[in-house]
Amino acid sequence: MEISEFKVLLKPVTDLVSSMEIDAKLAEELNRRLPPGDEAFDTIEKACHEAIADGWMCAHGNVGQRWGRVIIPCEETGGLSVDVVDLIDLAGPRHSHPGGEVCMVMPITPEAQFDGTSRGWCVFEPGSAHNPTVTNGEALILYMLPDGKIDFTDKK
């Protein structure tokens, strides 16, 4: 799979995310419409693993903390950037989300969680901040940012 095909695969997700407020209702809607175990969720998850194996996703870093921006904000994604990280039992660098952050959590280790969320969707509202944390093993996290905005200077 190439990046252009991945962008098409994500279209139902980016269309939904870009049409709603980035809040708890969006998380509920994503988990309702595109739940873990659903064909769309599982197909995106499989594509992420294939892209990592092909070397164009999570191409930066080392085992335990790999990352990479897959799609820059564009009209096709409703202005969302798409990044994917592969983390193993790690608290990442603190950052804030000027426009919010929408995460698809895909545990590799069955018990793994991302900020307390197991397999599924979580949403961080605009202005929120956190140290992205994976516990109990390894997980992939696909995250979308409105206009690609993220601020790693947050010290709170």
Q: Which residues of the chain have pLDDT under 70?
A: 154-156
Q: How many domains does the chain have?
A: 1
Residue 17 falls within a domain, yes or no?
Answer: yes
Residue 21, domain extent = 3-146
Beta strands in the chain (DSSP E): 60-62, 65-71, 80-91, 95-96, 101-107, 113-114, 120-124, 129-130, 133-146
- 153 found inside a domain: no
Structure tokens at 8: 């098409």
Query: Is residue 152 included in any domain, yes or no?
Result: no
The answer to whether residue 156 sits within a structural domain is no
Looking at every residue in the chain, the average pLDDT score rounds to: 95
Q: What is the pLDDT of residue 15?
A: 97
In this predicted structure, what is the pLDDT of residue 10? 96
Residue 75 in domain: yes
- Quote the CA–CA distance of 120 and 27 in Å, as a whole number: 9
Please say whether the beta carbons of 102 and 121 come within 8 A: yes
In a domain, 155, yes or no: no
Q: How many Å from the N-terminal Cα to the C-terminal Cα in the chain?
A: 40
Amino acid letter, residue 30 = L
pTM (global) more than 0.75: yes
Residue 125 in domain: yes
Structure tokens of 37? 């175990």
- Residue 154 forms part of a structural domain: no
Looking up residue 103, the CATH number of its domain turns out to be 2.60.120.10
Q: Return the closest-CA partner of residue 6 out of 89, 68, 60.
A: 68
58-89: per-residue pLDDT in tens?
A: 999 998 999 999 999 999 999 999 999 999 99
